[in-house]
Structure 1
Amino acid sequence: MAPTERSFARRRLLTGAAALTGATLLGPTAHAAENGRGAWPDRFSLPQGFQPEGITIGSRPYAWFGSLASGDVYRASLATGRGAVIAKGLGADHPTVGLKIGPRGRLFLSGGVSGELRIVDARSGETEKVYDVDGLFVNDVILTPDAAWFTDSYRAVLYKLLLDRHGAPGAVETVPLTGDWVQGADFTANGIERTPDGSALLVVNTVADGGGLMRVEPRTGVARAVDLGAARLPNGDGLLLLGRTLYAVQQQQNAIDVFRLDAAGTRGTAIARITDPRFRIPTTVAAWGDRLYLPNARFDVEPAPDTEYDAVAVRQV
């Protein structure tokens, strides 16, 4: 099995045996509501064979999706569901996993097994910069005022890409993860977010204590486990923070677990679980209006050029 295929096979299977443990003690279940935006679609197709993983939505109603198959970036209108590839990738060895759009139209891309961080102009589709950080699986990314932070699922580090006051990228620093961080023998770190007060980072750790969140001090990399009570995130993937409400996608469980955090992000209370029959192993989540949008990665099927993929929308809690 080629390195890329092996890594994605591991990703599909991550903590699969524990897929039901995160379902306990998570409070009421919230199912998808009717279309809350009139004629706006609550499901739309993505290109066949695309293998979506990441999603980002900026200040306008458009979503960008990254392709594991080719590294392409696809942009879709949330109003119509129609879209097109706006940036060509560098091929199967250079996937696009997580991605975020910055305020000046830059897309920050996680390069998975390529070990790269990439910057793409969302307007022209041109690749502005490629950073080879020698990563093993650069997974997800979050933007802060002075940096873009990337996780690596096979290394106990974060990559900090410095940004100037205009959001332009500069140098990359590697920040080792210490403290309570537990690095498993396989896939460990996944989604990343900021704490509600912006003082620290939240990172999914699928291994520690059955799977959960770590609060990471950005200056030192010291990690402390977030107290989530009895809740666990063995299949935790993308994170989305809206105010003090944290949405954590549990991909293999076809669910989003919802937590109310304290300001510092040291404690969280499970308040709901969102499920929907249209979920087909969603991975990441972004918001527009009162909706959450998720790509269905379909990690339970062997991808082929004609495999169908889509994105779905559900109501926020």
Structure 2
Amino acid sequence: MRRTALRRTVQRRTAAGFIALLALLLPTAMPATASPPSGDDVIVLQGAKSAEGIAAGKETTFYAGELMTGDIFRGDIREGKAKRFIDAPEGRMAVGMKADVRNDLLFVAGGSKGKAYVYNTETGDAVKEYDLSPGFINDVTLTPDGAWFTNSAAPELYFIPVSREGKLGKADDVETLKVGGEAGEPLQPNQFGFNGIAAAAEDDDVLIVAHTQNQALYAVDRDTGKSSRIEGPDLKFVDGILVKGDTVWAVQNRANQISRLELCDDLSSFEVEDVITSKHFDIPTTVARFGDTLAAVNAQFMRPASPHEVVLVPAWD
């Protein structure tokens, strides 16, 4: 039987604790005011006071989340515009997200709320809410049979079954995978563990997970939870990741860069092929891809109030 290693655990974090943690992890010496960048390569999330996640929708449509309210913006990279699309119920957060474009669904990680949310991308309606676990539910990836979520406060992954027709699993169908090996070791105080997640392109049974504290990527067997480090240079401040074939784009938030990595066939190692930067990066956290263009969202953690943006950069040299 699959997932014999699945079980539930409990570890508590609060939204206040998350903000305190950000204060420790991110720069505090910031200017008193901040001017928004200008140019066709920047799309302002007008009215957003926080930001974190981004997902590619149909064609050139993207969705971006307001971190602390859970609201969702919808924009178009060709038109260079975005506006608030989903006014989330009070008390939600929006961290990492992925869109199921075939079934018009948007899956959103709920941060310190310990939840996952699903929205209809045609109507903006809230479709379903799942209790995953206390901690910080950080990011999500979609596989042919469901959605996988990370927890930055515990070495666990959470699986929600989803049919190919978009039928969502029930609350008691949610499964918890305890991750073993190096990636499953206890975290140091005030550190994030699991962050970005993606399915390995050639093997649906393997997930690639970014680990912020360890500055590393891990291959995780989704049946057993066994993890193995993907050897390569340290990925300082690694956050969201995106996988296409043997290419990984790894966002490194405080480093203000996205590293483009090439994986070896057996996922045992990677090489850094390119480092993508932009004068408009202001602590990017997650990224979506539209052909040869990447769209990265600026989180601007711990900054004074300023417009939050999506920054467009080339995906390749």
Normalising to structure 1: TM-score of the pair?
Answer: 0.85
Q: What is the letter of the counterpart of residue 225 of structure 2? A: G
Provide the alpha-carbon RMSD of the alignment.
2.0
Counterpart pick for 2:299 among 297, 300, 307? 297
1:200 and 2:206 matched: yes
Change in Cα spacing, 1:12 to 1:281, as seen in structure 2 (3 Å) is farther
What is the match of residue 101 of structure 1? 99
Q: Distance in 1 between matches of 2:26 and 2:50?
A: 21
Q: Distance in 1 between matches of 2:23 and 2:242?
A: 21
What is the match of residue 25 of structure 1? none
What is the match of residue 314 of structure 2? 315
How far residue 148 of structure 1 moved from its aligned partner, in angstroms, is 0.3
Residues 151-186 of structure 1, C-alpha deviations (whole Å, 9 max, x = no match): 000011000111123132202101101122233133
Residues 201-242 of structure 1, C-alpha deviations (whole Å, 9 max, x = no match): 11111223xx101110011111111111xx112310010112
Structure 1: 5+ residue runs without aligned partners? Answer: 17-34, 36-40
Residues 124-152 of structure 1, C-alpha deviations (whole Å, 9 max, x = no match): 11111101123310000000001100000
What is the match of residue 47 of structure 1? 46
- The question of whether the paired residues in 2 share the 8 Å contact of 1:154 and 1:189 is answered with yes
1:272 is paired with a residue whose SS is strand
Change in Cα spacing, 1:12 to 1:149, as seen in structure 2 (3 Å) is farther
Q: Distance in 2 between matches of 1:267 and 1:226?
A: 5
How far residue 15 of structure 1 moved from its aligned partner, in angstroms, is 7.7
What is the match of residue 64 of structure 1? 63
What is the match of residue 29 of structure 1? none
Q: Which range moved further: 149-158 or 173-182?
A: 173-182
Change in Cα spacing, 1:66 to 1:49, as seen in structure 2 (3 Å) is closer
1:225 is paired with a residue whose SS is strand
Change in Cα spacing, 1:191 to 1:12, as seen in structure 2 (3 Å) is farther
What is the match of residue 33 of structure 2? none
Normalising to structure 2: TM-score of the pair?
Answer: 0.85
Q: Distance in 2 between matches of 1:134 and 1:71?
A: 18
Q: What is the letter of the counterpart of residue 14 of structure 1? A: L
Q: Distance in 1 between matches of 2:139 and 2:19?
A: 15
1:244 and 2:246 matched: yes
1:6 is paired with a residue whose SS is helix
Structure 2: 5+ residue runs without aligned partners? Answer: 1-12, 28-38
- The question of whether the paired residues in 2 share the 8 Å contact of 1:196 and 1:265 is answered with no
1:11 is paired with a residue whose SS is helix
Change in Cα spacing, 1:282 to 1:66, as seen in structure 2 (3 Å) is same
2:285 is paired with a residue whose SS is coil
Q: Distance in 2 between matches of 1:264 and 1:193?
A: 16
Counterpart pick for 1:272 among 271, 274, 281? 274
Q: Distance in 1 between matches of 2:145 and 2:23?
A: 33
Q: Distance in 2 between matches of 1:239 and 1:56?
A: 12
What is the match of residue 115 of structure 2? 116
What is the match of residue 17 of structure 2? 6
2:197 is paired with a residue whose SS is strand
Q: Distance in 1 between matches of 2:22 and 2:229?
A: 23
- The question of whether the paired residues in 2 share the 8 Å contact of 1:183 and 1:207 is answered with no
1:183 and 2:186 matched: yes
Q: Which range moved further: 177-186 or 307-316?
A: 177-186
What is the match of residue 36 of structure 2? none
- How do 1:66-215 and structure 2 match up within 5 A? 66-91=65-90, 93-102=91-100, 103-170=102-169, 171-181=173-183, 182-185=185-188, 186-198=191-203, 199-208=205-214, 211-215=215-219
Q: Which range moved further: 2-11 or 129-138?
A: 2-11
1:196 is paired with a residue whose SS is coil
The percentage of aligned residue pairs carrying the same residue is 32
Q: What is the letter of the counterpart of residue 201 of structure 1? A: L
Residues 12-66 of structure 1, C-alpha deviations (whole Å, 9 max, x = no match): 64387xxxxxxxxxxxxxxxxxx9xxxxx32111123431100001231111001
Q: What is the letter of the counterpart of residue 188 of structure 1? A: G
